[in-house]
Chains A and B, each alone.
Chain A
Amino acid sequence: MSRIELRALSKRYGQNPALNQLDLTLEGQKIYGLLGRNGAGKTTLLNLLTAKLHPTEGTIAIDGEPVWENDAVLGRVFYMTEANLHPGSLRVREAFQWTAEFYPGFRTAYGEELARRFELDTSKRVKELSTGYSSIFKAILALASGASILLFDEPVLGLDANHREMLYREILANYIEEPKVVIISTHLIDEVADILEEVIIIDKGRVIRHQPVEELLESAYAVSGEASKVDQYIQGRNFLSEERLQNFKSVIVVGGAVDRALAKSLGLEIGRPELQKLFIALTNSNA
């Protein structure tokens, strides 16, 4: 269970194209980051992947099998949705029991242990959970599900800093203990960046970057210093995002090696933007 293929995938709501001829292949058991701005199409993509929606065009396959109405394949995927699909009157521990019915690999003891660690009261009803605990509840279901593909849509929504760190650690520990495909879809990039192996950036319904994290980060660098000197350096180079403060200018250059000699002679500083900065630059310029 480790190959996801989306081909020429389009989803239109009336005139509005949420996804536009999107091509994506994910190969191998890794922790993938699905990054995109609000409304970029991340949730639509995940909904299509789990057959919650039917595509307007294109194909979706997991391990070569189309997902539509395919219980065999869908049964090996657990999708932590941003929306709350569980009945409000259901108690957390009942939800565990029912999930175990539908996912035979569900590890109840592990789920209860996670609930304890996060201080989730399993006697509470789903509708009584706060936003944060709603996320924790759904994330625990995913982690304990035993599925070989885990999809997390905005997993840290509403979580305080402690719980955010705990959840990322648990996802990492879970993945290390039992390698699987994990896709974390989020617009909160800072904290999740380090546990990702491969990154997919979606903007306006298309994939604009799909690379291993390090490769993506090494593909760009920031040049900063006196404005006119910076302009000299970026002559003939691809660049995104420009920050200016009077005479000071900072630009992110994409592609090509750093010309350290030139930079030094111009008195410029070279730095490496973190993933979030690079993401902002990429999605701002993709007009």
Chain B
Amino acid sequence: MARVWSFTKYQLRDYRTAVLVFYLVLAAMIALTLGISGRMEGHASLSGGSFIFVFVIGLNCFKTSFRFAQANNLSRRVFYLATLLSLVGLAVIMGAVDVILDAVMDRLPIYLGLFDQIYGKSTVAKGLWTTASLIFASSLGWMITMIYYRSNTVWKVIVSLSPVAAISVLSLLDRLSGGKAVSSTLSFLTWAFGFAGETPNPFQAVLTFLAGSAIIWAINILLLYRAPVKN
């Protein structure tokens, strides 16, 4: 529908200022670090930065925008699709920029990006991996903000405590199973991010990120169902 595209445009326009600031700060940081030490310590700060950044974008993509969608009588379906597309679009753009930045930085002899450190050199894999991770991060932020939106005070407390609760449950299970719970979780994660075999496989991680995103998107449909407009 035309309205989906229009709202996608709106969401992207909404992210624009933050994205520009992000890259300006990034450029400043790079210039500063290069200027001071003449070398980059590692790529960790750069890609980690994008990950956290889009996560925060996800956290902010809902409340004000949903009200605006309602002001224009857009259905929740239109809002959902447009927001999803905008987050994916943002991830694709930032993923591409990340890859380009990496390629530029690679010219400097002392630099080796985080991705290359782990998975070895491959532009395609790097692009896909970064984009998929950004899609996952932003979707996660979106889901969390929606969970909070739909929760009343009691549920908000429960949700806020859930990470702690999950860890406690895991360690309890671990003790009961004689160490099997944690080790099986770890081996699952290892496999999911492509470290199971001889050489690390980035495409496995891409699949994991996308699968995780798909699950989140399904949950978000439930969260958006009959969502009321709140103050």
In the complex, chain A residues whose CB is within 8 Å of the CB of B65: 87
In the complex, chain B residues whose CB is within 8 Å of the CB of A71: 1, 3, 74-75, 77-78
Bound-state Cα–Cα, A87 to B66, Å: 10
Name the segment of B108-116, B161-169, B223-231 touching the other chain: B223-231
In the complex, chain B residues whose CB is within 8 Å of the CB of A75: 3, 73
Partner of A81, one of B1, B6, B9, B71: B71
The answer to whether A85 and B229 touch across the interface, beta carbons within 8 angstroms, is: yes
The answer to whether A86 and B9 touch across the interface, beta carbons within 8 angstroms, is: no
**B-side interface mostly:** helix
The answer to whether A52 and B70 touch across the interface, beta carbons within 8 angstroms, is: yes
Q: Is B43 an interface residue (CB 8 A)?
A: no
Q: Is A54 an interface residue (CB 8 A)?
A: yes
Which bucket holds chain B's interface residue count? Answer: 20 to 34
Q: Is A221 an interface residue (CB 8 A)?
A: no
Nearest CB of chain B from residue A143's CB, rounded to whole Å = 15
Known: A52-B228, A71-B1, A98-B10. A103 touches B74 (CB 8 A): no
Q: Is A77 an interface residue (CB 8 A)?
A: yes
In the complex, chain A residues whose CB is within 8 Å of the CB of B76: 69
The answer to whether B228 and A53 touch across the interface, beta carbons within 8 angstroms, is: yes
Nearest CB of chain B from residue A50's CB, rounded to whole Å = 6
Nearest CB of chain A from residue B74's CB, rounded to whole Å = 7
Q: Is A188 an interface residue (CB 8 A)?
A: no
Known: A85-B67, A85-B229. A102 touches B72 (CB 8 A): yes
Bound-state Cα–Cα, A52 to B75, Å: 9
In the complex, chain B residues whose CB is within 8 Å of the CB of A102: 3, 6-7, 72-74
The proximity string for A residues 13-51 relative to B, scoring 1 for CB distances below 8 Å and 0 otherwise, is: 000000000000000000000000000000000010011
Q: Is B23 an interface residue (CB 8 A)?
A: no
Q: Is B64 an interface residue (CB 8 A)?
A: yes
| 5 A-B residue pairs with CB within 8 Å | A71-B78, A83-B229, A87-B68, A90-B68, A103-B72
Please list the residues of chain B having a beta carbon within 8 angstroms of any beta carbon in chain A: 1-3, 6-7, 9-10, 64-65, 67-68, 70-78, 226, 228-229, 231
Please list the residues of chain A having a beta carbon within 8 angstroms of any beta carbon in chain B: 47, 50-54, 69-71, 74-75, 77-79, 81, 83, 85-87, 90, 98-99, 101-104
